[in-house]
Chains A and B, each alone.
Chain A
Amino acid sequence: MPPGARSRVALGLTAAAALGRFELQQCKDCGTVQYPPREACQKCLSTRLPWKTQDGKGALLAQTNLHHSNDLFFRERLPWRLGLVHLDAGPTVVVHLHEGAKDRVSVRAMLDRAGQAVLAAVPEKEDVNMADDRQLREFTCDPKFRKVLVTDGKTAVGQSLTRSLVEAGAELIWVGYSEPWKQFPGFDELKKLPQVTLLPLDVTDSKSVREVAAEIGGKIDILVNNAELHRPFGIANRAGVETARSEMDVNYFGLLRLAQEFAPAMRARGADGQSSAVAWVNLLSVYALANFPPHGTFSASKAAAQSLAQCLRAEMRPSGVRVVNVFPGPIDDEWNQLLPPPKIAPAALAKAIVRALQEGTEDVYPGDVAQEWLERWRDNPKALERELSA
């Protein structure tokens, strides 16, 4: 893996890059933009250095091709292009350099295979496809030419995901479906896609998960766990624990079962050259951040799943397999019928997930509702708790 050590203050860059943002510290008192990350303003010594989004525009001062590295990860990938960029905002930054970049460039923050933020410069004007650049592809999890498992093909989200992955050039997509005795709407359409193989998979059944892992676990490059159970209940309007337990069984224990059976093989293939395991996607919910009482038990199960996903992320990081957590707001499906719009359409959610893989982000908040919740939560988690219970 690339060198993964960072100071605590530098993790601010990682926090933003996880969301696909490029932020630098900017002095609250004098406005100076700082880099590398630091504890005090280099101009006025203020310690008030909030992270602010940057446009990343700058001039390429110099570049080099590294032919020698002291790190194994880079040794296997030499030569490696680097640049020194003078940002219009002030600082000079060392960057991984896109092969088309010269003179004017656009700098963005990305997560490298160690899961830490690095800066990359791409040509300023073009709409850049990261996957086209040999180096930047190392920082993404592009589904192109890769083999993917989608754990639940029965839902609209699962079917949209499958179609989006096909469009993104995935080589092979296994699509799981539980209760194989029940034909589900859309089954035939999925079956017609030449890249798709349907297979029975029930994340509540350890035996089923184990058997599928034994069959295809060693070939999966990207696992997308979209299996979820969602019932619109709080505590007071549903007697007993059975519904909540079912939610936990799919949303939390399902992830645990998948992680126990699939993660070891993916970890082992994490640094496996070009055809390596690269990503594990969890469909969580923005309700994992703060409980939405009308869907209270579902929120709780997603919060549990998020916590487990953090554990999985920690266990996967040494292998370079990225764990991508997706936090949609309400999805436009039967379980959110009573919620007013805006709701995210399954197709839009699927596209957001594929884009996250292509761009290499780690935490995805697709859609307007999720974005707004994220901002409210970042601003004041307690306030969001009160707002959600109103």
Chain B
Amino acid sequence: MSVLNELAKGLQGNKIRIVDLTHTLSPDFPSISLPPEMGQAWPFRIEEVSRYDERGPAWYWNNFSCGEHTGTHFDAPVHWVSGKDLPRGAVDSIPPQNFVGPACVLDLSEEAGRDADFLLTKAHIVAWEKKHGKIPPRAWVLMRTDWYKKAGDPAAYQNYDETGQHTPGPDIDAVRFLVEERDILGFGTETIGTDAGQAQHLRPPYPCHYYMHGANRYGLQCLAHLDELPPSGAIIVAAPLKIQNGSGSPLRVLALIEKP
């Protein structure tokens, strides 16, 4: 109990700050679009049911619709074919313990700013550990690129050209290192996808999805405000909606950080 008492005191005493890592869900927020012959996820859409009017005199409410992978969202292991048969791999069956964990934030904003196709390598991780210590087991590793700042400009955020999307992400070795040697809880990015925009050209394609989910780990995408987090020491609360056999879910991601 004393741990939670400490936490409560910290929250009340203004010693712990809550950082919202979530984008607002709206039809304007860019959504994933696959080649047209593929099945398509619904973009976020919202329709007013009533607003203190003839459709409902004293109340206001909306219907909204979207795919599981819309806005700031959570990827469950069953999302990928490599994780399809894993136990407790869907959002409703994931052990709730896994929705709260420490965060290691790797600042690659400079590199991503220079090169939209930037790939995080094992070397970057090792360098980070030299400064901030070894990544603990069952931690979230978050790749800070400051990409979230482009969210007001959908074209820049998606960054498409004739060869496809150009956004940063991890390379194969980095993903395998984090899963196999650091036992992380999951990997989070500020872009649409835990993999780089051009990751279809890697082998296997989309390695972060492939290995992370294949090892029953999770993904967080379209995160915001990672620049407000310390390299280590933050606690992440990221609980997806409890959708039966769901492959993912939009969610509110909160970070708890200690004020200096």
Contacts and interface: CB of A to CB of B under 8 A. Distances in A.
Task: Please determine if A and B sit in direct contact within the complex, based on CB atoms under 8 angstroms apart.
Answer: yes
Interface of A: 179-183, 202, 204-208, 240, 242-243, 246
Interface stretch (B39-47, B243-251, B252-260): B39-47
Contacts of A204: 43, 45
A180 B39 contact: no
Contacts of A243: 39
Contacts of B33: 179, 182
B70 to A, nearest CB: 13
Given A181-B160, A242-B39, 11 more contacts: A180-B154, A181-B158, A182-B160, A183-B155, A202-B27, A205-B45, A207-B26, A207-B27, A208-B27, A243-B39, A246-B40
B191 to A, nearest CB: 13
A207 B43 CA distance: 13
Closest CB pairs A-B (n = 9): A181-B158, A181-B154, A181-B155, A205-B27, A207-B27, A182-B160, A181-B30, A242-B39, A180-B154
A179 B158 CA distance: 10
B63 to A, nearest CB: 11
B47 A206 contact: yes
A372 to B, nearest CB: 29
A328 to B, nearest CB: 20
A183 B155 CA distance: 8
Contacts of A183: 155, 160-161
Interface string B224-241: 000000000000000000
Contacts of A180: 154-155
Contacts of B43: 204-205
Nearest to A240: B39
A206 B45 contact: yes
Interface string B13-35: 00000000000001110100100
Interface in B119-141: none
Nearest to A206: B47
B40 A242 contact: yes
Interface of B: 26-28, 30, 33, 39-40, 43, 45-47, 154-155, 157-158, 160-161
Nearest to A246: B40
B41 to A, nearest CB: 9
Nearest to B48: A206
B17 to A, nearest CB: 33
Contacts of B45: 204-206
Nearest to B33: A179
A182 B164 CA distance: 10
Contacts of B47: 206
A234 to B, nearest CB: 16
Contacts of B39: 240, 242-243
A164 to B, nearest CB: 25
> Do most interface residues of chain A lie in helix, strand or loop, or is the interface mixed?
loop
A365 B6 CA distance: 75
Contacts of B154: 180-181
Nearest to A257: B47
Nearest to B46: A207
Nearest to B30: A181
Contacts of B158: 181-182
26 contacts: A179-B33, A180-B154, A181-B30, A181-B157, A181-B158, A181-B160, A182-B155, A182-B158, A182-B160, A183-B155, A183-B160, A183-B161, A202-B27, A204-B45, A205-B27, A205-B45, A206-B45, A206-B46, A206-B47, A207-B28, A208-B27, A240-B39, A242-B39, A242-B40, A243-B39, A246-B40
Contacts of B155: 180-183
A293 B46 CA distance: 33
The interface centre, meaning the residue of B28, B46, B161 with most chain A CB atoms within 10 A of its CB, is B28
A387 B46 CA distance: 42
A242 B30 CA distance: 20
The interface centre, meaning the residue of A179, A181, A204, A207 with most chain B CB atoms within 10 A of its CB, is A181
A180 B33 CA distance: 12
A243 B43 CA distance: 14
A153 to B, nearest CB: 16
Contacts of B161: 183
A182 B43 CA distance: 15
A211 B68 CA distance: 26
A207 B44 CA distance: 11
A118 B27 CA distance: 47
Nearest to A232: B37
A207 B48 CA distance: 10
A183 B158 CA distance: 11
A277 to B, nearest CB: 26
Contacts of B27: 202, 205-208
A29 B38 CA distance: 59
Contacts of B28: 207
The interface centre, meaning the residue of B45, B46, B47, B154 with most chain A CB atoms within 10 A of its CB, is B45
The interface centre, meaning the residue of B27, B160, B161 with most chain A CB atoms within 10 A of its CB, is B27
Nearest to B157: A181
A180 B154 CA distance: 7
